Amino acid sequence: MTRGSGPRLAVALDGAGWHPAAWRSPDARPTEVFGAGYWVDLVREAEAGTLDFVTFRDTLSLPSDGVRGRLDAVLVAARVAPLTSGIGLVPEIVTTHTEPFHLSKAIATLDYVSSGRAGVRVQVAGRAEDNRHFGRREFGGFRLEDAAEPDRAGLLADLFDEAADYVEVLRRLWDSWEDDAEIRDVTTGRFVDREKLHYIDFAGRWFSVKGPSITPRPPQGQPPVTALAHAAVPYRLAARAADVVYVTPFDRAQTATIVAAVRDEQEKAGRGAETLHVFGDLVVFLGETEQAAADRKARLDDRFGAEYTSDAHVFTGTPAGLADLLLDWHAAGLSGFRLRPGALPDDLAAVTRGLVPELRSRGLFRTEYEASTLRGLLGLARPANRYAAV
């Protein structure tokens, strides 16, 4: 069965789960969290549920709670890729202190390793502890409240404008090789047709990149770009630069309001005719009954010493109850959902073995992958190369 008319589903993987005490739960695997097998098992579980993609969380500083350490998300995705076959792999990268040339090459390589299943989530970093790791840039203070005011000049707006330029450089570098630039003619000794490699000549406020890339155009042409957005300024980034935006409504009414705001920014960006998926982010704690799910979360809260809260809606209940909520919010305009398992592997398994069968029983979720690339799973056509002669 193909996907049907239901929502798309992704899962956000982070350490032992999104609850800071998840690593202390009975079924957690804290001694394995820095091993390749741990991540392979998680992604294979997600793939068994035919989810659209997984994201791998990454930051430039240590988490303040929970598992105190991180592996590089792109490298984890590259390790997992050859051992999976259908699911999309979307590592997070930080645009603020890194170079787009390096990351364009890394994501293109991931697309080759995965045979066209790579994506990327872009994010900004402006905290002092992030800056100190690099020592090249210092930022003044800024208020998160400024994210709600897209016309306010300042550091926050600059960080997101820089991220938009970063994505533009990524996309141009991915296009800097035409699809048939590789000749590989053993007889003549010509490996590349240099007429089909292109300078991108990007010159902006933050980047000056001549190009071309040193990596051939990725199998998907353009791996999908995703971004998390809580307010107007990041909505604008997503509308300008992304294929998927993750948003964080807390109820159905707010869902409709946020979707309308994103679509308005999309029109302003001149992308009204393009596909921009809007996924809702939720943290999930699932159980066979609502009480069982509530008790699981309460035990984790006790171990943490405080009630867990999140930037996203926290759902505690059964897979059937979660299905009802997702379908209600889907009807309000969301393309799909990125679920953050409260504790791994329990809540991931509850998604793949509880939520997915529930949606399938209603005829609203696939039973097998209907496309071989992440763009295909998301209903995105392979884009033409901007530099190729028509």
For every one of its 390 residues, what pLDDT tens digit does the chain have, with 9 covering 90 and above?
555 689 999 999 999 999 999 999 999 999 999 999 999 999 999 999 999 999 999 998 888 787 888 999 999 999 999 999 999 999 999 999 999 999 999 999 999 999 999 999 999 987 777 777 887 777 766 666 777 777 777 888 899 999 999 999 999 999 999 999 888 777 777 788 888 999 999 999 999 999 999 999 999 999 999 999 999 999 999 999 999 999 999 999 999 999 999 999 999 999 999 999 999 999 999 999 999 999 999 999 999 999 999 999 999 999 999 999 999 999 999 999 999 999 999 999 999 999 999 999 999 999 999 999 999 999 999 999 999 986
Q: How far apart are CA 263 and CA 164, in angstroms?
A: 17
Packed helices 73-80 and 100-113: angle between N→C axes, nearest 10 degrees: 20
Q: Global pTM?
A: 0.95
Q: What angle do CA 225, 246, 294 make, to 5 degrees?
A: 140
Range of the domain at 43: 8-175+220-336+357-377
In a domain, 191, yes or no: no
Per-residue CA distances from 54 to 44, 148, 348 (Å) = 10, 28, 11
In a domain, 258, yes or no: yes
Count of positions (residues) in the chain: 390
Domain with 141 in it: what CATH number? 3.20.20.30
N-to-C CA span, the chain: 38
Q: How far apart are CA 146 and CA 140, in angstroms?
A: 14
In a domain, 341, yes or no: no
Per-residue CA distances from 204 to 35, 165, 166 (Å) = 40, 8, 10
In a domain, 77, yes or no: yes
pLDDT in tens, 151-194: 777 888 899 999 999 999 999 999 999 999 888 777 777 788 88
Residue 166, helix vs strand vs coil: helix
In a domain, 346, yes or no: no
Tell whether omega for the bond before 212 is within 30 degrees of 0, i.e. cis. Answer: yes
Number of domains in the chain: 1
